Amino acid sequence: MISELRAIIVEDNAKSTERLEKYLVTYCKEIELVGKSATIKEAIELIQKEKPEAVFLDIELADGTAFDLLERISKPDFRIIFTTAHEAYAVKAIKHSAIDFLLKPIDPDELILAVDRARMEIEQELELKKVKHLLQVIDATDSTIPTLLLRDQYGIQLVHISEIIRLEGQGNYTKIIQKDQPPFMSTKVLKEIVSLLPDELFFRSHQSHVVNLNYVNRYDNRDSDLLFLRNGEKVPLATRRKQHLLKRLRSFRT
């Protein structure tokens, strides 16, 4: 989820700007107000400089209309929330097109809903970009290398099975430790992920721990409850699984 939404206000009425800014500070903590402008010229410069994710845009400005402003921006990559004191035909057209607008005097509840919708649309767009990027990565990946697609809190991760060092169950999540990659938390439980892995390569050393046998460095009799991995980590080894591990290691490395 997006923690902050960069936004600007384009409004030629100082009192309206002040009221909207006050409402944003009070009711929409996720909004980071990065600038204000009163004219089309100022707004264009501000948009180019700050690259906001949302613009609160008054329809009627001193030097033109909001539509004049938008015509001068070739590809707007921000969410528009129109503000106006006149419920005229233009507003109905905006509403019909599913673009948000706020009628002055602005209702705080309507403002909160508009901000929530803008944030959801941006998050969906970011997710779509991540998926497109992931598909490009998959297309460029050697199809003979076994992989998994695992979702984390930010999107989807492409994981090479052979590079998984170990997995650790943590409630409804699973921590994935890979070679040459930062660890991440998958939203799948350990049991689900293990069912997707080759049995001959992975070993459950403990109730919440699964290791890739290729990355097992040693098992030391002096530390019978620990398994030492090549990346320097230690994972617990259940006593009842010790003999099974030794048997697996002998067959795995012969």
Tokens of 147: 């992989």
Q: What is the C-alpha to C-alpha distance for residues 11 and 30, in angstroms, rounded to an integer?
A: 21
User: What share of the chain has pLDDT > 90, as a percent?
Assistant: 46
Where in the chain is CATH 3.40.50.2300?
5-130
pLDDT tens for residues 120-156? 888 877 766 666 665 565 555 555 557 888 888 877 7
* CATH topology (fold) of 5-130: Rossmann fold (3.40.50)
CATH code of the domain occupying 147-252:
2.40.50.1020
Where in the chain is CATH 2.40.50.1020?
147-252
pLDDT tens for residues 52-78? 999 999 988 889 988 888 888 877 888
> Is residue 242 within 8 Å of 248, Cβ to Cβ?
no
